[in-house]
Amino acid sequence: MMAADIPTTALGEHFILFERLPLIYGRVPKVANTSVKAALTRLLEEPPEEGWRTTADAFWRKATHGETSLIDADAANQRRATHLIFSFVRNPFDRLVSAYNNKLIEIDAPPAGMERMGLVRHMPFEGFLEVVAGTADQDLDVHLLPQSSILCRDGVPVPGFIGKLEAMTEHWRALHRRLRQWGLPALGRLPAKNVRRDGESNLSSYFQSPRLIQLALDRYRQDVELFYPDQPTDDLARGNFAQPPALWERCSDPVGSLT
């Protein structure tokens, strides 16, 4: 068993940099992160060292023979003109419920970061949301950190390509088109890892009152306004979309927009 992984929330090292390829992945927990990481291992030229989990930060720091490293948003932002930087985001209401179920209901003990917040196993969802709503970004467990806080620098997304979990099949194909434009190898099919809930599940049983919807909206307002501006709040809180959310791309990306 490997030594405990070094937490990176405080360091802000949320981006995986490929040293030999012009590619950077902005990793967001609870957004198919495990599956995307598994796909990214296909780009490694050398077999990784044995005994490391691809989900662990230490894998990308120490087990890839120097082919990858972890960097922060500032370092990733400095490579925007030379690297394809991509990520995926999720309906923040659904991501919040996923974190609650996975970390406080399904497993035996909450992560240390959640325990430091005062969260306890099997606590009611309303109490959980109240704690999250009253906790500053710097004190949040990374699974509850706003996606905009992870991916943005000065309020502007660092990645030039941001797909949506709710349209993962379509947006994964769009990512492959973008990879080809950059002359990068394909990632293949997205592995199905840690799939627990449908991204379009009905969330009404969790957000049963306007107050709870407002608490979540106030806490994750920047996520909603930046990544889901075309979706009504009530639809986000129910997990239902009249139409799939659109792919987010920076128009000024040096290789141009997808057509």
Is 169 part of any domain? Answer: yes
Is 254 part of any domain? Answer: no
Q: What is the DSSP letter of 101?
A: I
Query: Strands 248-249, 161-164: parallel, antiparallel or unpaired by DSSP?
Result: antiparallel
216 touches 186 (CB < 8 A): no
Query: CB under 8 Å to 194, separation ≥6 — which residues?
Result: 34, 35
What domain range includes position 82? 15-245
Is 255 part of any domain? Answer: no
Is 58 part of any domain? Answer: yes
Is 256 part of any domain? Answer: no
pLDDT in tens, 11-45: 489 999 999 999 999 999 999 999 999 999 999 99
pLDDT in tens, 98-144: 999 999 999 999 999 999 999 999 999 999 999 999 999 999 999 99
Is 146 part of any domain? Answer: yes
> For residue 86, is pLDDT > 60?
yes
Q: Print burial letters for 103-132: b (CB count within 10 Å at least 16), e (below 16).
A: bbeeeeebbebbeebebeeebebeebbebb
What pLDDT is stored for residue 193 in this prediction? 64
- State how many domains the chain has: 1
Is 34 part of any domain? Answer: yes
pLDDT in tens, 188-220: 999 986 554 444 457 999 999 999 999 999 999
Is 163 part of any domain? Answer: yes
